[in-house]
Amino acid sequence: MPERESDQVLVERVQAGDKKAFDLLVSKYHQRVIRLISRLVRNPAEVEDIAQEAFIKAYRSIGQFRGDSAFYTWLYRIAVNSAKNALMASNRRPIPMSDLMKSDENEEGEAWPVESAIDFQTPEALLASRQVAQTVDAAIESLAEDLRTAIMLREIEGLTYEEIAEAMNCPIGTVRSRIFRARETIAKQLRPLLDTPENKRW
66-118 pLDDT tens trace: 888 889 888 988 998 898 888 887 766 555 555 555 444 444 444 444 444 44
Assess whether 133 and 185 both reside in one domain: yes
42 pLDDT higher than 80? no
pLDDT value of residue 99: 56
Task: State the pLDDT confidence band at 18, using cuts at 50, 70 and 90.
Answer: very high
User: Does the pLDDT value for residue 126 go beyond 60?
Assistant: no
Q: Chain-wide mean pLDDT for the chain?
A: 79
43 and 86 Cβ atoms separated by less than 8 Å: no
Q: Which domain covers residue 43, as residue numbers?
A: 1-95
User: What is the predicted pLDDT for the residue at 121?
Assistant: 45
Overall size of the chain counted in residues: 202
pLDDT in tens, 133-179: 788 888 888 888 888 888 888 887 778 888 888 778 789 999 999 99
Per-residue pLDDT, averaged over 24-28, amounts to 95
Whole-number pLDDT of residue 61: 95
Verify that 101 and 191 share a domain, yes or no: yes
Return the pLDDT at 155: 82
DSSP string, the chain: --HHHHHHHHHHHHHTT-HHHHHHHHHHHHHHHHHHHHHH-S-HHHHHHHHHHHHHHHHHHGGG--SSS-HHHHHHHHHHHHHHHHHHHTT-PPPPHHHHS-SSB-TTSPBPHHHHS--TTSHHHHHHHHHHHHHHHHHHHHS-HHHHHHHHHHHTS---HHHHHHHHTS-HHHHHHHHHHHHHHHHHHHHHHHT--TT---
Q: Are residues 39 and 69 in the same domain?
A: yes
Q: Are 113 and 194 in contact (CB under 8 A)?
A: yes
pLDDT value, residue 106 = 44
Q: Do residue 34 and residue 115 come from a single domain?
A: no
What's the pTM? 0.59
On whether both 90 and 100 belong to a single domain, the answer is no
| Domain final position from 95, 130, 153 | 95
Kindly report the CATH number assigned to the domain that includes residue 117: 1.10.10.10
One domain, residues 103 and 54: no
Claim to verify: residue 89 and residue 109 sit in the same structural domain: no
Any idea what the CATH number is for the domain that residue 19 is in?
Answer: 1.10.1740.10
* DSSP for 176-199, written as a single string: HHHHHHHHHHHHHHHHHHHT--TT
- Report yes or no: 173 and 142 within 8 Å, Cβ to Cβ: no
Same domain, 123 and 59: no
